[in-house]
Structure 1
């Protein structure tokens, strides 16, 4: 099992090192969405510890990754709106964890997935000649 984890970690590190700035943001969205999906599974399994760890991981990705990447001064209104949306998603995740609410988790996944799609579009547009 350790070998598979180490191999996956190397693959992740390689992806991070070779990703564009847009690609890194998409990876953060992917990580947050995956963590929330796992939290839902753990919630269904009634594994409170793992559910909480997964929600915490998603919150850290949103706060330390997505929110930290925002430049409110350079990004203007769009960055401010994203900051508000990330804050809302964070609060919804905390409530989802406390209330065992799959619906709130689904809302967070939906919002993050929409944002992920927008970033993919921006990345494709930016790389076209």
Structure 2
């Protein structure tokens, strides 16, 4: 197995065995990665790559929007923020504007850090599995 194939297999296994909470964290991490790449692409004037990376970030935001439960009050508050971030990514793409990307990046990092805290708190309150000390 080639090193790249081994890494891909590892990533696929990590995704398949992750909880829904861990998958959400992976989405946030991916969004951060693609926004940062797009920012570098703007600096180097690699507009084709910038477009691809922004579109990947937008697809992640769309996936996060889909996962929101519309019956939960918090979801009703988060949805407009996701919508704004998606719109701002579109503007950044059209205008090649790193300031817009930085703004969205700050939101995504804030969501990611909050989500990490939620996962840590959930692990602390989760009862231990039987037979494991």
- Determine if the alignment matches structure 1 residue 68 to structure 2 residue 57: no
Hey, what's the Cα distance between the residues in 1 that align with 2:114 and 2:41? 29
Specify the structure having the higher radius of gyration (Cα): 2
Matches within 5 A, 1:68-87: 68-73=66-71, 76-87=72-83
Hey, what's the Cα distance between the residues in 1 that align with 2:41 and 2:3? 22
Hey, what's the Cα distance between the residues in 1 that align with 2:83 and 2:3? 35
The aligned residue for residue 11 of structure 2 is 12
| TM superposition shift of 1:22 | 1.2
3-state SS in 1 of match to 2:105: helix
1:107-129 Cα offsets, whole Å, 9 max, x none, are: 11110000001111111111113
Hey, what's the Cα distance between the residues in 1 that align with 2:109 and 2:4? 26
Give ranges in structure 1 of 5+ residues lacking alignment. Answer: none
The aligned residue for residue 125 of structure 1 is 121
Flag the 1:77–1:128 CA change in 2: closer, same or farther, 3 A: same
Hey, what's the Cα distance between the residues in 2 that align with 1:41 and 1:11? 27
3-state SS in 1 of match to 2:2: helix
- Structure number with greater CO (CA < 8 Å, separation at least 6) is 1
Query: Following TM superposition, where does structure 1 have runs of at least 4 consecutive aligned residues deviating by more than 4 angstroms?
Result: none
- Tell me the TM-score normalised to structure 2 length: 0.88
Hey, what's the Cα distance between the residues in 1 that align with 2:103 and 2:8? 29
Flag the 1:97–1:4 CA change in 2: closer, same or farther, 3 A: farther
CA RMSD of aligned residues (A): 1.4
- Tell me the TM-score normalised to structure 1 length: 0.91
Which is richer in helix? Answer: 1
3-state SS in 2 of match to 1:17: helix
Give ranges in structure 2 of 5+ residues lacking alignment. Answer: 126-133
